[in-house]
Structure 1
Amino acid sequence: MYWRKAIVALAFALYGCGGIEPNFGPIYQAKPNGDLDIMNAYFMIENGDTSKASEIFYTLYKNSGNELFLKEAARLALSARSNLLYQIMGELNGNDAQTLRLKISYAILIYELDEAKKLALKLIKMDKSSQNYILLANIYAFEDDINKSIELYKKAYEIDKSEDNMIRVITIFNDFLGDSKSAIRIADDWVRQNGCSSRACYILLDLYSNSSDFDNMVRIYEKLYLENESTQYLVNALEVHLYQGDYQGAKRLLKKYEFNDDLLSQIYAQLGEYNEAYEVAKRLFELTNNVEYKAKMAIYKYELSKTKELKLIINLFEESVYKLENPVYYNYYGYLLIDHNIDVKKGLELVLKAYFLDFKSAYIIDSVAWGYYKLGNCDMAMEWIEKIGAKDLEQGEFKIHYDKIKKCIKGKR
């Protein structure tokens, strides 16, 4: 367990030392005719042989006595955990910031945490940078002194509130300390003050998602939309509302930004606000001349008024349903004609058309059975309704129809 912690701590410490990316400037200033060896060392790093590169810099140090080569050898040896690490670190002297970071990394690696803390405090006296406070905080975190580590991470963030540092700090809080509330608070405050950059807000969205905070997910998606003007963010926000079954939230979003009136009419219908649904569908038909909106108008008008405006409803269906070849509209219109005894034969023809377009729908099968029942053909009605699963036949309107068909058959016997 401690070894894994030490490796993570070492990664943070090496970040402070510049990682293992080539650092040509200082090295070339120190070169004693070692250009070829230096280039060879960095080629080895690119090929993944960091340990061998460390040995080359250590040899250059031995030949020249220049501390810059020794520091580079130590940095690479720490990264590779090479066999020469103990020997190289034994020769590393000095109290400059870079040397102290290397010594801290080594102390963490061999789990001498008290020594690492002592060196880190010394480093902070020299340089009160955010980076150095993070380094000290890491040491306390790996000692499981969570309160002290949190105090230091917060101090580091107070010093440097750049986006990079914010992301670094909230990653530590969330992933290593398990303190998602602090991570969210820091990220949210940063976004409020600095705006919704993609990186910051995507991380914040991820944090909210992990905590199932859907309202704040919607808020951040809206903020992203306002700052980037991409409708996809509104679609994402809408998906969150629909995932929750929050149709009121979906309605608010669709009305506010007016980016999908077709869906708005369906949301109105879902909420039972059929007059609003009808008016939106009517406006969309007038704008587009798309007859599907007439079929939707017919449905919304029926749900709103039932039989009060049958003439208008039938006209809307007649002007649309045959052009659409859609099982939903065939079934809805056909069932209306059947159930209200307006034209049962025509209604049965329509629901049979719906069945041939979608033969798996229990609702369409029920409509066909109901059509045969209304025509007095109860045996055929039973043959059809039994296509619906037994479990469904015990529920709602299916059960009402099933019981009436059974009663009809018994009456004939």
Structure 2
Amino acid sequence: MNNGKLKLILLVFALFFISCSVKKPQIGKKAFDQEDNYIIKALVLENDNKPLQAADIYDFLYKKTGKNVYFKKEIEDLFFAKKYKKVLNLTENIKNLDKEIFKYRIFSLLELKKGSEAKKELLTYFNKKEPLFYELMSYILIKEKKYNKAADYIKSLYAINHNKHTLLALADLLIKIKKYNEALAYLRTHLKIYGCETDVCERLAEIYRQTQDFENLAYIYSLMGKYDKKYVIFALKIYIDNGDFNKALKLIDKYNLGDEYKLILFESFNKYKGAANIAYRLFNKTNNPAFLLKYCIYEYEAYNNKEAALEVIPKLKFLAKLYPDNDYINNFLGYLLIEYDINPKEGIEYVKKAIKIKPDDTAYIDSLAWGYYKLKKCKTAWDIIKNIDTDDKEISKHKKLIKRCFYDTSKNHTKNSKKSEKRKKH
């Protein structure tokens, strides 16, 4: 894991340990009239990222009132201003420090690379049964890159408080040292007891991504869907990619994603009958012609016969009037009229419209040639298709039939011409 990830883990620990620092100080009864004004000034300076100036105000307030809360705020702001030596000078009387101030002393020692001293003070002046001992010791060990020992201390802390933030810090550390199964055990247990809290599930998702466990990743995403719909879509994509139609369908129903997502699902699995029914339902609901076109496509693909063609042709004619410059609709309609000998002449006219828009489309050229073949105009058909070179099986089949028809017609024409010449000589 890179340095950026380590910094992130350290930041998680630090934020956890100083979680109270951003709160407005509780001052109690005012010691002098302008006390509130000074507090407001200090808070504004903190908000403007000027902790050193804020610390000066808290120093004044502490000396003026003797209230320990101001001393705490001064130490906190000095730490954020990176005045570590000053923090140490002000906190030399360790025995009289409360927990909040003591941890800033430890942090300052660590920032000044005095890890041994920090550890010694922690062991000397702190009760090993208190949660803060384990917090600070684990932080020191992480700074020393003794990650396995640090993990042991965080495990002890988690056994004491079962705090979610402790769990996340532990999971991050276990992920860093690639103890994925151990991290999963802690996170899954928490998941079973407390449900899918966003950050806990995010850690689980991270592990499943790193270990490429896509089945469990999709499951976690499906749980996270209650927080953000995007996770449902992530899960749906994984199910589709993995070919799990039933789980994908259940997910769509669970979150009421609606027919549009069902259509995507049925399309992805080439379930044309279902896709056709959904598309037609969506067309009736929305009156959107795009769904009517999808219905025509999937209804025909589902059955691929003349009856299906007769069902969709009237609808395609409606769409062709609505979108006269749509090459796909014109070719699709024209091809059906040609293929099933419903009206090849009319079909050719629709195909010509498609070719006018896309003259180099091999599928459209094939439809036109096929139309003339159906009208038994084999020479015209051959002249249209003879230069087409493609791997498409259907077009290749049409080309062979048209070629045979053309040469058979040419032979017959040659024979008839010879017979005619003989008759003239006689």
Contact 2:76–2:104 under 8 Å retained in 1: yes
Residue number in structure 1 paired with 2:94: 93
Residue number in structure 2 paired with 1:191: 191
- Rounded to whole Å, the distance in 2 between the matches of 1:33 and 1:84 is 33
- The residue type paired with residue 143 of structure 1 is E
The alignment covers a number of residue pairs equal to 399
Kindly provide the CA deviation profile for residues 227-265 of structure 1, in whole angstroms up to 9, marking residues without a partner as x. Answer: 67x977654532333355655654554577775456646
SS of structure 1 residue aligned to 2:113: coil
* 1:102-121 matches, cutoff 5 A: 102-121=104-123
Residue number in structure 2 paired with 1:142: 143
* Pair 49,317 (structure 1): closer, same or farther in 2 beyond 3 Å: closer
- Rounded to whole Å, the distance in 1 between the matches of 2:230 and 2:6 is 40
Tell me by how many angstroms 1:313 deviates.
1.8
Q: Which has the higher contact order (CA 8 A, sep 6+)?
A: 1
- Rounded to whole Å, the distance in 1 between the matches of 2:144 and 2:168 is 23
- Rounded to whole Å, the distance in 2 between the matches of 1:192 and 1:47 is 42
* Pair 264,357 (structure 1): closer, same or farther in 2 beyond 3 Å: farther
Contact 1:100–1:119 under 8 Å retained in 2: no
Deviates more, 1:186-195 or 1:176-185: 176-185
Residue number in structure 2 paired with 1:155: 156
- Rounded to whole Å, the distance in 2 between the matches of 1:220 and 1:405 is 57
Residue number in structure 1 paired with 2:127: 125
Contact 1:351–1:368 under 8 Å retained in 2: yes
- Rounded to whole Å, the distance in 1 between the matches of 2:180 and 2:119 is 26
RMSD: 4.9
Kindly provide the CA deviation profile for residues 379-411 of structure 1, in whole angstroms up to 9, marking residues without a partner as x. Answer: 65248x75xxx7xx2454455556767788899
Residue number in structure 1 paired with 2:384: 381
Kindly provide the CA deviation profile for residues 154-210 of structure 1, in whole angstroms up to 9, marking residues without a partner as x. Answer: 233333334444444434544x55655555544443233222344544554455445
* 1:8-407 matches, cutoff 5 A: 9=10, 12-13=13-14, 15-18=16-19, 20-21=21-22, 23-25=24-26, 35=35, 40-58=41-59, 70-82=71-83, 85=86, 88-89=89-90, 91-94=92-95, 96-121=98-123, 125=127, 128-129=130-131, 132-174=133-175, 177=177, 182-202=182-202, 204-205=204-205, 207-209=207-209, 211-224=211-224, 234-244=232-242, 246-247=244-245, 249-251=247-249, 253=251, 259-261=257-259, 264=262, 267-268=265-266, 271=269, 273-274=271-272, 300=298, 302-307=300-305, 310=306, 312-325=307-320, 328=328, 330-354=330-354, 363-372=363-372, 374=374, 375-376=377-378, 377-378=380-381, 381-382=384-385, 393-401=390-398
* Pair 13,242 (structure 1): closer, same or farther in 2 beyond 3 Å: closer
- Rounded to whole Å, the distance in 1 between the matches of 2:232 and 2:84 is 56
- The residue type paired with residue 381 of structure 1 is I
- Rounded to whole Å, the distance in 2 between the matches of 1:90 and 1:328 is 79
- The residue type paired with residue 191 of structure 1 is L
Kindly provide the CA deviation profile for residues 328-377 of structure 1, in whole angstroms up to 9, marking residues without a partner as x. Answer: 55434432343455543233233344556777865445434544555432
Identity %: 24
Deviates more, 1:120-129 or 1:279-288: 279-288
- Rounded to whole Å, the distance in 2 between the matches of 1:78 and 1:133 is 21
* Pair 172,293 (structure 1): closer, same or farther in 2 beyond 3 Å: same
- Rounded to whole Å, the distance in 2 between the matches of 1:257 and 1:67 is 52
- Rounded to whole Å, the distance in 2 between the matches of 1:331 and 1:116 is 79
| TM-score, normalisation: structure 2 | 0.69
Contact 2:344–2:371 under 8 Å retained in 1: yes
Tell me by how many angstroms 1:316 deviates.
0.7
- The residue type paired with residue 125 of structure 1 is N
Tell me by how many angstroms 1:19 deviates.
5.9
* Pair 336,262 (structure 1): closer, same or farther in 2 beyond 3 Å: farther
Tell me by how many angstroms 1:108 deviates.
1.0
* Pair 111,286 (structure 1): closer, same or farther in 2 beyond 3 Å: closer
Any gaps of 5 or more consecutive residues in structure 2?
A: 321-325, 412-426
Any gaps of 5 or more consecutive residues in structure 1?
A: none
- Rounded to whole Å, the distance in 2 between the matches of 1:6 and 1:155 is 23
SS of structure 2 residue aligned to 1:125: coil
- Rounded to whole Å, the distance in 1 between the matches of 2:15 and 2:302 is 69
- The residue type paired with residue 49 of structure 1 is K
- The residue type paired with residue 241 of structure 1 is Y
Contact 1:218–1:240 under 8 Å retained in 2: yes
| TM-score, normalisation: structure 1 | 0.71
Contact 2:13–2:169 under 8 Å retained in 1: no
SS of structure 2 residue aligned to 1:148: helix
- Rounded to whole Å, the distance in 2 between the matches of 1:273 and 1:7 is 46
- Rounded to whole Å, the distance in 2 between the matches of 1:168 and 1:152 is 11
